[in-house]
Structure 1
Amino acid sequence: MTDPGPSPAGPKHAGRAGVPEIVFLGVPIARLDARGAADHIAARAPGQPFAYVVTPNAAQFTRLNELSDPRFHDAYDHAWLRLLDGQVPRMLARRLFGLDLPHAAGSDVTLDLLERQIQPDDPVTLIGGSDELRRRLIERFGLSTVHLHVPPMGFIRDAAAVEACVDFVLAHPARYVFLVAGSPQSEYLARQIDRRGGAVGVGLCVGSALNFAVGLVPRAPSWLRQAGLEWAYRLMRNPVGHARRVFVDSAPVLLTALKARRDPARYGMAPNATGRG
């Protein structure tokens, strides 16, 4: 499904990737589901200048709308493709604004790429992760060239460490560059690579997607994901580590959506995007 057709509220326009987009909570979202996104990414010819993909979820909508983070805005403004990751934002879009946005979770896009699109001889570069992740990727998906650079903890605050990441990407040209340093670090880094120039391939800011794909981290059952309850599954498995992400980083998206319903134009949405469409 590369374009699910007109939405009852909000105009469409083509973004940088040549894909129709619709603005939701200030973010132009590509109208691609996971398979359509994987196909579009894989269709980009090898050797083209570096461009990157971001996958907004509830926490990222919150960072963009409720926090003052110019670097994150800049990273999103220059992204090649923005794919809707979160089921909760998707539900809010449908119920409050009448927008039927396709779901393209970074984990689903990544798995589709690995299973259908990435060929054994396609070079892949990882920024973040582990030797075990690299080993499992090679073993499970038959990849022949996987370069790995693991930056130190807190690297994004160290200019030299950031430059080392950028240098590694330039020194190891790849068709696919997986940035798995967590958000917002991955998005900041993607923008730095883009700004430097000279790199090639598609950068993918996809969080824990590779860990899910190789079985290092279990993913919620599909019925929970479809119900928009993957956050609850992660919270149950790791209540201490995931509580801040759920209740502090993500929950304010509800406030953002309510404010956008009162004043959709402020969030770049069509004046009639009020859910009555």
Structure 2
Amino acid sequence: MTAPNIANFLGLRFDGGSTETAIDDILGAIKQPFRYVVTPNVQHVVEIYEQGDSLKAKYTSAWRIYCDSRVLRKLARLSGSKLDVVTGSDLTARLLERASALGLKVGIIGPSADDCAIVGRRFPGLEIASYTPPMGFIKSDVEVQKCIAFILGANADITFLAVGSPQQEILAHRLLEYPEARGVALCIGASIDFLTGKQQRAPLWIQNSGLEWLHRLLSDPKRLAKRYLVKCPKIFGLVVAQMMNPRFRS
């Protein structure tokens, strides 16, 4: 299974394709040794450059890297790269739908039992195993090991890691250390919140225009102002640096 249209941008490999081809790839790998999927957006790319090689390795070790941001796609065009967009939220919703139709077992790490019950009612064909680690779990090796033990014990076909970035990518990377691990994990951020109604996605026309970030900012300005008005604009400096120096891509 090889993703088409692989592109490189800002030092990351991005796999091409559509949401449906991504799902086909994932479903075709669920009986294979463990692998994971990441969906970086503008914030994630900035974080990678600020934190350096340690965080970058958590992304580059992923089996599939899909672009989650239409803004990132537009910026990539400026430097001659073509990125296909496969958003984590769309991928999660459609994959759960397909998995439900197939009667697959899924693991969900992060959301509460009540939220997972809502997912179960929405997708009744699923067998769901869920675990909610405490806040800040990633700083405690004991708590990380509890997550790993749960995931290994659940032996799910697909595992959704919804504990925020970079916690979910760190956890996924740790799972590569265990040869008994199987199936596919997806690092999905807040995607479950959109399915349960805790958060609302922007209307489709806003998503397609690349302004979903603005919709999210206006919906929760106190929490998201620093992310979208301070952190994310740093991407422009990274893009300019790449355009001025091709070796910046390495």
**TM-score (normalised: structure 1):** 0.85
Query: Would you say how many aligned residue pairs link Structure 1 and Structure 2?
Result: 249
The code of the aligned residue for 2:28 comes to A
How far off is 1:47 after superposition? 2.8
The answer as to whether partners of 1:137 and 1:143 remain within 8 angstroms in 2 is: no
Question: Identity over the aligned pairs, expressed in percent?
Answer: 34
1:166-177 equivalent positions in 2, closer than 5 A: 166-177=148-159
How far off is 1:250 after superposition? 1.8
Aligned to 1:204: 186
Aligned to 2:216: 234
Q: Distance in 2 between matches of 1:93 and 1:69?
A: 21
Match of 1:55 among 28, 35, 39: 39
1:91-102 equivalent positions in 2, closer than 5 A: 91-94=74-77, 96-102=78-84
The answer as to whether partners of 1:42 and 1:118 remain within 8 angstroms in 2 is: no
CA RMSD of superposed structures (Å): 1.5
Q: Distance in 1 between matches of 2:57 and 2:80?
A: 28
How far off is 1:155 after superposition? 0.6
Is 1:43 paired with 2:28?
A: yes
How far off is 1:70 after superposition? 3.4
The answer as to whether partners of 2:7 and 2:81 remain within 8 angstroms in 1 is: no
* Counterparts in 2 of 1:266 and 1:174: CA distance versus 1, 3 Å: same
Q: Distance in 1 between matches of 2:247 and 2:200?
A: 40
Q: Distance in 1 between matches of 2:42 and 2:224?
A: 14
* Counterparts in 2 of 1:70 and 1:265: CA distance versus 1, 3 Å: closer
The code of the aligned residue for 1:22 comes to A
The code of the aligned residue for 1:159 comes to D
Bigger helix fraction: 2
Moved over 4 A (4+): none
How far off is 1:168 after superposition? 0.5
Is 1:161 paired with 2:146?
A: no
**TM-score (normalised: structure 2):** 0.94
Q: What's the CA shift string for 1:136-185, capped at 9, x where partnerless?
A: 11101113421111111011111111111011101110011000000010
* Gapped regions of structure 1 (runs ≥ 5): 1-16, 269-277
* Counterparts in 2 of 1:245 and 1:208: CA distance versus 1, 3 Å: same
